[in-house]
Amino acid sequence: MKTYAQTILLRDEPGVIEAYRQHHDAIWPEVAEGLRGIGIEQMRIWLIGRQLFMVMDTVDGFDPDRDFARYEAGHPRRAEWQRLMESFQQPVADAQPGEWWAQMQLVFTLNA
């Protein structure tokens, strides 16, 4: 299993946070099915202020660049969902050039 941690901001506009939450409360079936289909075993998103923090656990062979492109190409509703979510988001200041969700580095692990 691979684990990815990423962050992004929601736009500082009225109603954006509530709309984002509402969409995720009623995620489209094609989206959930597609994420599972590309090897995402679990995805969790947290929110503080306008900042989102996402953790994904994936199969070992998961490659974000390859598999997210495959995800969007697999069904038109998935690309529509991505465009809709991107309309609520903006990259964090520390994102790399061209990076939307910024990859975070693991700096500590406590093992049992």
DSSP secondary structure code for residue 1 in this structure: -
Into how many domains does the chain fold? 1
> 3-class SS at 3?
strand
DSSP secondary structure code for residue 61 in this structure: T
N- to C-terminal Cα separation, the chain: 18
Helices (H), the chain: 16-25, 29-37, 64-73, 76-86
pLDDT at 16 over 90: yes
pLDDT at site 109:
92
pLDDT at 111 over 90: no
Q: Would you say residue 62 lies in a domain?
A: yes
pLDDT at site 11:
97
- CATH at residue 82: 3.30.70.1090
Mean pLDDT of the chain: 95
For tokens 């969700």, name the residue: 101
Q: Would you say residue 110 lies in a domain?
A: no
Q: Would you say residue 98 lies in a domain?
A: no
* Rounded CA separation 94/50 (Å): 15
What is the domain extent for residue 7? 2-92
pLDDT at site 18:
97
Q: Would you say residue 84 lies in a domain?
A: yes
41-66 tens-digit pLDDT: 999 999 999 999 999 999 999 999 89
